[in-house]
Structure 1
Amino acid sequence: MYVTLRDRPGADARTGTVVRRVSSTVVLLGVVSLLTDVSSEMVASVLPLYLTAAVGLSPLAYGFLDGIYQGVSAFVRIAGGYAGDRGGQPKWVAVLGYGASALSRLAMLPATGFAAITAVVTGDRLGKGLRTAPRDALIAEASDPGALGRSFGVHRALDTAGAALGPLVAFALLASVPGSYDSIFVVSFGFALLGLAVLVLFVPNLRPATGAARIGLRRALRAIAGRPLRRPLLAAGMLGLLTVGDGFLYLSLTERDDLAAGWFPLLYVGTNVAYLALAVPLGRLADRVGRARVLVAGHGALLACYLLAALPTGGFGLTLSVLLLLGTFYAATDGVLPALVSRLVPDEARGSGIAAAQTVVALARFASSLLFGLLWSLQGPGASLLLFAGLLVAAVPAAGFLVRGVGHE
């Protein structure tokens, strides 16, 4: 991965020169996300097994909690994006969100019942919702418009490096002391605190270059509801509704292939390694051929993932294929969506626009988790995955039609 650091976008994008540089701010934010994702993925990689095996939740109850994990952040994403836009302080809004998530790691220690765990997970996800849009607005502001896919790809690659390391740390802790979930929560807090320190001490608080950092609520809402965003948001919501949570996919693989519980965290590593390898190449591809095209095409990898995970028998090769396809899906969508949206709204409403897209996706995935948990309880994982795959076959071309021609610069 070739990256040359710089501080702010230069004249290359205006003159049409091919840009091969990524802002130092993007890299620093990537380091923050790397450390934070080591923390969060340490917990996330054991949470499905912890909740179903140790706590004893049913698939439907886990579906509710996974829905909280996927979707509760939607309630504050637009507030976080707007707060960063309105006050011209996106960095400090992000600091508040990262801090809330860090504290939730320690709060997991005394949480043993369903209600307590739900409250802790909710606090963590609210922190994520608050920080994500202001952080992505900082990335967009620090980047050349013609290289947004690349910049978001570099950030997501660093983010995903942490997401790959987190489950390895959790695996090592569980291997050393089986069932030592408390040690996972304590170590994850340490990583989260280190990431917060990097953000506070080293990341600049960039504002829109136009100087229009303060935007009224009415104007922000007009930007979100404006015509340029309608079709992309509709497409993103439709596809998000058919995106099964990672935890469900991993639990289905564990059930089918009879994997030992201690190996469960390593399933996250396979996905994140693929994401890490492909985030920058697919980001650059999105800059060249169109971000909307890559966003929709990435769901083809998700479709293949469902079909392979739904097979009645598996094995190492099929399991690895599912993990790699899931990582490919995230590499083609996670950073590409904010890169696409950030160019469809005015600069001063960038955080609000990105937050609107993320809110739609989060709410859709919340509904998806509840629905899939119910279907699993009624008919098992295989039939449920096949049903989602069939619906996705129809949704992908429909989404492609909705975003046709969107985001071409």
Structure 2
Amino acid sequence: MYVADSRAGTPETPAAAPSADGATRPRAGRRRPAVAPTVLALGAVSLITDVSSEMVTAVLPLYLVAGLGLSPLGFGLLDGIYNGFSALVRLVGGHLADRGGGRHKWVAGAGYALSAACKPLLLMAQTLTPIGLILAADRTGKGLRTAPRDALISLSSTPENRGRAFGVHRAMDTAGALLGPLVALLILRATVDGYDAVFTVSFCVAVVGVLVLVLFVPGGAGTKDGAGRPTGADAETGRAGEPGAGTPALPAAAPRPTLRAALALLHHPELRRITVCALLLGLATVSDSFVFLLLQRRLGVPDRWFALLPLGTAAAFLLLAVPLGRLADRAGRWQVFLGGHGALLLAYALLLSSWQGTAAACAVLLLHGGFYAATDGVLMAAASDSVPRELRSSGLALAQTGQALARFSCSLGFGAAWTAWGDRTALTASAVLLALCAVFALRLRPIRPTTSSESLV
């Protein structure tokens, strides 16, 4: 992993040179920027929290379908809630963080704490309605924390290494996703009431993640390095309120962090195009749980091994997140983002093909993890380039909201199509829709990607 350099991102660092295709490349002689300590601390929080959440995610499909006997339509409804409900509160979380200036940490902490509190409640829920309410509350916590957390990562990084910073964070986050299913599998094999034990241990791990956030993540949006000098957004302008050598000075009248100002960001053509494309592509992104259920049906995976399927996706994500983040910084973020959806389309094609066996499953999981590595952090890095730092949380929340709402709709539609026409027909329709949306997104791609969001203020 990367070691934070106390000189990274300081005002005396030369500016990066933007290329014609929107990628940011350091000028000759510049030292490669290191990842800020804030990014590493947030990565540790996400790693621990993902161990907790992925323990539940790994067993939830089987628990609901095999344990409680839900139909694919009922599971699609709950899965849509689990993956899309956070869209309703992401704008709220982003707005609250921006309004307070230094509230990013505390808004994110409230979201982590709410999600942790929901884990033991799953022990008492046995029917669709209470489970749906608990999952909705859990995703509310995710919605509150996601935009402030990503804003902290963005503000702690310089424009030319933002893709790498998000890649490092997502790699640490995915390390937790890799460990979570393993822990769940061990608990299921070692206990009699396996599901109850999984939910209990998940709660305890989530509490540890909240404590790490409170103790080790800086509280303000503008962070400092080990020598007490500003990094990220503060470094881009020298000291607060003073122009730096690398980017233009901020105008005196910066946008106030109001909800109206946040929504007005969609008037900016680049952010609007990014948000619309993320929404369209999300409409054809089948959720992870359905992908794993399809793999189990094709390969006849025993129930006790089902929790291992997410490990393939997580391992690929872990290995590819940093390299693809660096590639996005160098070659262009939009190209990498669309390439990730090409990998997902190929995974759908493999699921629909006659190829079976362990090699087929590994190929699907590799492509699935590559899709996330090329899109998750890269989308946030691309959106950060089009959002002023005073509204960074709100701007990122706009892109996240469109994508989350689209994936919520896809979960409902896919579950309904599976119930009505079968899994193969539902997946075929999703593949065709993804191909059409990808072609449209290619034509709608940002015209002139920016390299310094502060120039848009």
TM-score, reference length from structure 2? 0.86
Aligned to 1:265: 307
Aligned to 1:156: 170
Distance in 2, Cα, partners of 1:124 & 1:9? 36
Once the two structures are superposed, residues 290-345 of structure 1 have per-residue CA deviations (whole angstroms, 9 ceiling, x without a partner) of: 11111111101100111111235621110111111100000000001111111101
Instruction: Report matched runs for 1:227-376 at 5 Å.
Output: 227-312=269-354, 314-376=356-418
Shift, 1:70, TM fit: 1.1
Matched, 1:34 2:47: yes
The answer as to whether partners of 2:80 and 2:412 remain within 8 angstroms in 1 is yes
Distance in 2, Cα, partners of 1:194 & 1:22? 24
The answer as to whether partners of 1:293 and 1:400 remain within 8 angstroms in 2 is no
Report the 3-state secondary structure (helix = DSSP H, G, I; strand = E; otherwise coil) of the residue aligned with 1:204: coil
Distance in 2, Cα, partners of 1:75 & 1:28? 27
Distance in 2, Cα, partners of 1:285 & 1:28? 23
Shift, 1:255, TM fit: 1.3
**Alpha-carbon spacing, 1:364–1:6, altered in 2? closer, same or farther (3 Å):** farther
The answer as to whether partners of 2:273 and 2:446 remain within 8 angstroms in 1 is no
Distance in 1, Cα, partners of 2:408 & 2:112? 21
Instruction: Report matched runs for 1:99-178 at 5 Å.
Output: 99-177=113-191
Report the 3-state secondary structure (helix = DSSP H, G, I; strand = E; otherwise coil) of the residue aligned with 1:20: coil
The answer as to whether partners of 1:149 and 1:287 remain within 8 angstroms in 2 is yes
Distance in 2, Cα, partners of 1:310 & 1:384? 10
Aligned to 1:25: 38
The answer as to whether partners of 2:95 and 2:258 remain within 8 angstroms in 1 is no
Distance in 2, Cα, partners of 1:5 & 1:48? 43
Distance in 1, Cα, partners of 2:281 & 2:444? 12
Report the 3-state secondary structure (helix = DSSP H, G, I; strand = E; otherwise coil) of the residue aligned with 1:22: coil
Matched, 1:96 2:110: yes
Shift, 1:190, TM fit: 1.2
The answer as to whether partners of 2:8 and 2:33 remain within 8 angstroms in 1 is no
The answer as to whether partners of 2:108 and 2:145 remain within 8 angstroms in 1 is yes
The answer as to whether partners of 1:76 and 1:126 remain within 8 angstroms in 2 is yes
Matched, 1:51 2:93: no
Structure 1 counterpart of 2:104, one-letter code: P
Distance in 1, Cα, partners of 2:3 & 2:367? 26
Shift, 1:147, TM fit: 0.6
**Alpha-carbon spacing, 1:224–1:201, altered in 2? closer, same or farther (3 Å):** farther
Report the 3-state secondary structure (helix = DSSP H, G, I; strand = E; otherwise coil) of the residue aligned with 2:69: coil
Shift, 1:408, TM fit: 4.5
| Aligned residue pair count | 409
Matched, 1:4 2:4: yes
Distance in 1, Cα, partners of 2:315 & 2:48? 16
CA RMSD after TM alignment: 1.7
Once the two structures are superposed, residues 241-289 of structure 1 have per-residue CA deviations (whole angstroms, 9 ceiling, x without a partner) of: 0000010111111112111001111000110000000000000000011
Distance in 2, Cα, partners of 1:87 & 1:3? 30
Distance in 1, Cα, partners of 2:109 & 2:47? 15
Aligned to 1:14: 15
The answer as to whether partners of 2:9 and 2:33 remain within 8 angstroms in 1 is no
Structure 1 counterpart of 2:415, one-letter code: G
Higher helix share: 1
Structure 2 counterpart of 1:319, one-letter code: A
Aligned to 2:444: 402
Distance in 1, Cα, partners of 2:389 & 2:328? 21
Of the candidates 74, 85, 110, which is equivalent to residue 87 of structure 2? 74
Structure 2 counterpart of 1:241, one-letter code: L
The answer as to whether partners of 2:55 and 2:198 remain within 8 angstroms in 1 is yes
Structure 1 counterpart of 2:422, one-letter code: G
Structure 1 counterpart of 2:4, one-letter code: T
Distance in 2, Cα, partners of 1:132 & 1:177? 34
| Range with greater deviation from structure 2 (172-181 or 242-251) | 172-181
Distance in 1, Cα, partners of 2:255 & 2:10? 20
Shift, 1:214, TM fit: 5.6
Structure 1 counterpart of 2:9, one-letter code: P
Shift, 1:113, TM fit: 1.4
Structure 2 gap ranges (5+):
17-26, 223-233, 235-239, 242-253, 452-457
The answer as to whether partners of 2:93 and 2:145 remain within 8 angstroms in 1 is yes
Structure 1 counterpart of 2:41, one-letter code: L
Distance in 2, Cα, partners of 1:213 & 1:28? 29
Structure 2 counterpart of 1:287, one-letter code: D
Distance in 2, Cα, partners of 1:258 & 1:71? 29
The structure whose Rg is larger is 2
Report the 3-state secondary structure (helix = DSSP H, G, I; strand = E; otherwise coil) of the residue aligned with 1:259: coil
Distance in 2, Cα, partners of 1:259 & 1:13? 54
Distance in 1, Cα, partners of 2:138 & 2:80? 13
| Range with greater deviation from structure 2 (112-121 or 30-39) | 112-121
Shift, 1:179, TM fit: 4.9
Distance in 1, Cα, partners of 2:371 & 2:290? 16
Structure 1 counterpart of 2:322, one-letter code: V
Shift, 1:218, TM fit: 2.4
Shift, 1:152, TM fit: 0.2
Distance in 1, Cα, partners of 2:282 & 2:405? 8
Report the 3-state secondary structure (helix = DSSP H, G, I; strand = E; otherwise coil) of the residue aligned with 1:63: helix
The answer as to whether partners of 1:307 and 1:385 remain within 8 angstroms in 2 is no
Structure 2 counterpart of 1:32, one-letter code: V
The answer as to whether partners of 2:56 and 2:202 remain within 8 angstroms in 1 is yes
Distance in 2, Cα, partners of 1:205 & 1:184? 32
